[in-house]
């Protein structure tokens, strides 16, 4: 929580002035009845029409000032709250960007999205309400207490007896509801995740005609959320009526003992009236305070969720080296590298050991789930090896500053993800200042120039989210062009030609060989033909390297490779 207070620091002025102006308004509000009393005492008694009109004018004037103070307070509150929320949201987004894949796997993206959007908003309205309401109620309570004590300190003991009870009530409700509100937020996360999954799987759901079942599952989830919202609501619903009852029972006691004091002459009737009025004032302020606390409790639950993410450190320590060693001949090497995903039983990779020189091509082939993509993820340091050493451009990847390392690598992920924006925007992802010519050249190598040029708006064609308006193969070719556009030292193709027909595949490989001769390349593929000319081929099975060498030597020595190659050549 301390972490979040930091975001309020730039708005210290607003935080002090806002409540102050609210206070001034409250004071002016209290003066109004005093002026009115004067009208009654002096104006009416003295039958002074002029005095009555003058004093009425004063009341209007006080109102105008109150309006001014109040507007100032509201303005300051809005400025502070939205300034705070905007900065917090940005910092959260920035922080999530620094998290490593391990943390992302653990947290899940839908809850992160929810925290950036909903929870920050809730925390922000908490600040807004705090400035607008926090000073008024305590001021009125404090003022009324002073008056009460001045009137009859013995009677005011009754109030001192009640106050702890009300305080306990507030504390109790807060303590009980904060965990409940976080639980509700978690359920809301679940609904967001489910909605996203249903949108992704819309075709499959419909192909199985399962919409009704999906809707029913969803209804159950919503009903579950409703139930736990009702539980939280049930507890917080106690707050207002209980405060009302406790305070008024206090007034009953005041009346009874007050009557006794009047009997003994300690108190006058008018004083008792004033005392009761003050108690009512306190009651109203208490109810307002209780409402404020309810709002703040919700905001608190959300703030904790935001703070939790901010307090999650990246488990990966960033290196410091940023420059590319010019003499590095060994572009990539794995020295007895093993890796296991967190929480998984088996190792995903075991004892991988190879070296790749500048300009060479590494081919990785192997069965489904044999660890091919995991190997690629270790190169870009998405994860850290459990043992062994991954070296890239002649340096342990742990010593590289991650962004610097990745800026020299072009990755084409297995899943062809494109983003909202034009094709040109997408191609510039890896290299913001690439010229149109450079982009077009990348498109040509990726065999995507033909279809992009055929589009009415060419590279300026707008892609809807994920490039849904393109076919699978078109998306893959654009992701290849995107990686090439940054002219990387090392290009990683993670089974990224699976949706391409063989002719395109072959043309692409030809263009790559011709245009990017100096580029070191890692190709993951299931097509043995795609890897024939690789300088080194790794054959993976269940995370172990069961053979490495060139096509010829593997064909001679490696049983698994022969089997793979044979199955494709029959």
Partner 1 sequence: MKNTIFRILHYTRRYRRDLVLSILCTLTGVSLSLVVPILIGMAVDYAVSPGKVDFAGLGHTALLLAVTVLVSGVLQWLAGLFINRLAFGTVRELRTELTEKLGRMPISYIDGNARGDIIARVVSDIEILSDGLLQGFAQLFTGVVTILGTLLLMLTRNLIITAIVVLMTPLSLLVAAKISAMSHTTFQRQSALRGDIGALTEELVGNLRVVKAFTYEDRAEERFTAVNADLGEAGRRATFCASISNPTTRFVNNLIYAAVGTVGALGAIGVLPWVGVMSVGTLTSFLSYANQYTKPFNEISGVVAELQNAVSCAQRVFEVLDAPAEPDDSGCTVMQTCEGSIEVRDVSFSYTPEKPLIRHFSMKAQPGQRIAIVGPTGCGKSTIINLLLRFYEVQQGEILLDGISTQELTRDSLRSLFGMVLQETWIFTGTVAENIAYGKPDATPEEIEQAARAVHAHGFIKRLPEGYQTVISDSSGLSQGQKQLLCIARIMLTDPPMLILDEATSSIDLRTEHRIQRAFEKLMRGRTSFIIAHRLSTIRSADLILVMRDGNIIEQGTHDTLMAQNGSYAQLYQSQFHTA
Residues 449-508 that bind partner 1 (CB under 8 A): 451, 456, 464-466, 468-474, 476-477, 482, 486, 495, 498-507
Site for partner 1 in 114-173 (CB under 8 A): 114, 116-118, 121, 124, 128, 132
- What does the H/E/C string look like for 146-202? HHHHHHCHHHHHHHHHHHHHHHHHHHHHHHHHHHHHHHHHHHHHHHHHHHHHHHHCH
Q: Which of 142, 252, 389, 453 binds partner 1 (CB under 8 A)?
A: 252
Output 2 or 47, the one with its CB closest to partner 1.
47
The DSSP string of 298-354 is HHHHHHHHHHHHHT---SS----B-SPPTT--EEEEEEEEEE--TT-SS-SEEEEEE
Q: Which of 320, 345, 437, 517 binds partner 1 (CB under 8 A)?
A: 345
Q: Which of 109, 323, 387, 460 binds partner 1 (CB under 8 A)?
A: 109
Q: Which of 249, 313, 387, 436 binds partner 1 (CB under 8 A)?
A: 249
Residue 205 within binding range of partner 1, rule CB under 8 A:
yes
Output 90 or 329, the one with its CB closest to partner 1.
90
Residue 398 within binding range of partner 1, rule CB under 8 A:
no
CB 17 within 8 A of CB 77: no
CB 22 within 8 A of CB 69: yes
Dihedral Cα 496, 194, 120, 116, nearest 10 deg:
0
CB 360 within 8 A of CB 536: yes
Output 214 or 355, the one with its CB closest to partner 1.
214
First-residue to last-residue Cα distance in the chain = 65
* Site pattern 46..75 for partner 1 (x: CB under 8 A): -xxx--xx--x--xx-xxx-xx--xx--xx
Q: Which of 432, 433, 437, 518 binds partner 1 (CB under 8 A)?
A: 432
Smallest distance from partner 1 to CB 444, Å: 15
Q: Which of 429, 444, 544, 550 binds partner 1 (CB under 8 A)?
A: 429
Site for partner 1 in 79-98 (CB under 8 A): 79, 81-83, 85-86, 89-90, 93-94, 96-98
Total binding residues for partner 1 by CB under 8 A?
191
Site for partner 1 in 355-384 (CB under 8 A): 365-370, 372-373, 380, 382
Tokens of 175: 């303590």
CA dist., res. 471 & res. 451, Å (int): 11
Tokens of 291: 């409402």
Question: Half-sphere exposure (CA, 13 Å, Cβ side) for 377?
Answer: 18
The piece of 150-158, 163-171, 221-229, 388-396 that touches partner 1 (CB under 8 A) is: 221-229
Q: Are strands 330-339 and 520-524 parallel, antiparallel or unpaired?
A: unpaired
Residue 322 within binding range of partner 1, rule CB under 8 A:
no
CA dist., res. 423 & res. 13, Å (int): 46
CB 262 within 8 A of CB 178: no
CA dist., res. 205 & res. 195, Å (int): 13
Site for partner 1 in 255-314 (CB under 8 A): 255-256, 258-260, 262-265, 268-269, 272-273, 276, 280
Residue 343 within binding range of partner 1, rule CB under 8 A:
yes
Output 35 or 335, the one with its CB closest to partner 1.
35
Consecutive H or E run containing 363: strand 361-366
* Site pattern 540..569 for partner 1 (x: CB under 8 A): -----------------------xx--xxx
Q: Which of 188, 349, 442, 558 binds partner 1 (CB under 8 A)?
A: 188
Output 197 or 389, the one with its CB closest to partner 1.
197
CA dist., res. 22 & res. 77, Å (int): 10
SS3 content of the chain, % helix, strand, coil (to 5): 65, 10, 20
Output 333 or 407, the one with its CB closest to partner 1.
407
Q: Which of 219, 311, 462, 556 binds partner 1 (CB under 8 A)?
A: 219
Q: Which of 2, 164, 204, 552 binds partner 1 (CB under 8 A)?
A: 204
């Amino acid at each position: 929580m301390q972490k979040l207070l930091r975001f309020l620091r730039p708005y210290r002025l607003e935080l002090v002035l806002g409540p102050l102006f609210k206070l001034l308004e409250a004071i002016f509000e209290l003066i109004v009845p005093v002026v009115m009393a004067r009208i009654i005492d002096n104006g009416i008694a003295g039958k002074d029409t002029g005095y009555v009109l003058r004093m009425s004018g004063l009341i209007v004037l006080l109102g105008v000032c109150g309006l001014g103070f109040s507007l100032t307070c509201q303005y300051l509150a809005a400025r502070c709250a939205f300034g705070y929320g905007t900065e917090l949201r940005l910092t959260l987004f920035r922080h999530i960007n620094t998290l490593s894949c391990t943390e992302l796997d653990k947290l899940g993206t839908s809850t992160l999205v929810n925290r950036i959007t909903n929870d920050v908003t809730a925390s922000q309205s908490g600040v807004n309400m705090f400035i607008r309401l926090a000073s008024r109620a305590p001021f009125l309570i404090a003022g009324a207490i002073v008056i009460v004590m001045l009137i009859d300190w013995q009677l005011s003991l009754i109030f001192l007896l009640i106050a702890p009870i009300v305080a306990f009530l507030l504390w109790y409700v807060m303590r009980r509801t904060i965990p409940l509100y976080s639980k509700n937020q978690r359920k809301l996360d679940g609904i967001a995740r489910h909605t996203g999954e249903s949108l992704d799987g819309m075709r499959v759901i419909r192909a199985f005609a399962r919409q009704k079942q999906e809707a029913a599952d969803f209804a159950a989830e919503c009903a579950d959320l409703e139930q736990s919202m009702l539980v939280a609501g049930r507890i917080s619903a106690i707050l207002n009526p209980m405060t009302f009852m406790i305070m008024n029972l206090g007034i009953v006691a005041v009346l009874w003992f007050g009557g006794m004091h009047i009997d003994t002459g300690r108190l006058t009737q008018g004083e008792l009236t004033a005392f009761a009025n003050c108690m009512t004032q306190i009651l109203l302020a208490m109810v307002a305070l209780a409402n404020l606390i309810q709002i703040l409790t919700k905001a608190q639950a959300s703030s904790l969720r935001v703070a939790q993410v901010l307090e999650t450190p990246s488990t990966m320590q960033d290196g410091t080296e940023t420059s590319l060693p010019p003499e590095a001949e060994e572009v990539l090497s794995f020295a007895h590298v093993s890796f296991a995903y967190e929480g998984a039983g088996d190792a995903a990779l075991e004892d991988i050991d190879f070296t790749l020189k500048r300009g060479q091509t590494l081919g990785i082939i192997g069965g489904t789930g044999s660890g091919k993509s995991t190997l690629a993820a270790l190169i870009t340091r998405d994860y850290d090896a459990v043992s062994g050493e991954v070296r890239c451009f002649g340096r342990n990847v742990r010593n590289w500053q991650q962004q610097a390392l990745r800026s020299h690598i072009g990755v084409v992920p297995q899943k062809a993800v494109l983003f909202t924006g034009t094709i040109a925007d997408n191609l510039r992802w890896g290299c913001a200042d690439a010229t149109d010519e450079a982009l077009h050249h990348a498109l040509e190598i990726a065999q995507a120039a033909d279809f992009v040029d055929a589009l009415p708006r060419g590279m300026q064609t707008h892609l809807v989210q994920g490039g849904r308006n393109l076919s699978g193969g078109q998306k893959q070719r654009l992701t290849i062009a995107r990686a090439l556009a940054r002219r990387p030292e090392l290009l990683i193709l993670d089974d990224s030609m699976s949706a391409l027909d063989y002719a395109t595949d072959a043309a692409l490989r030809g263009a790559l060989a011709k245009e990017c001769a100096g580029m070191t390349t890692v190709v993951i593929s299931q097509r043995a033909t795609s890897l024939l000319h690789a300088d080194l081929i790794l054959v993976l099975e269940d995370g172990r390297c069961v053979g490495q060498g060139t096509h010829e030597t593997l064909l001679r020595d490696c049983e698994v490779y022969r089997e793979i190659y044979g199955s494709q050549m029959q």
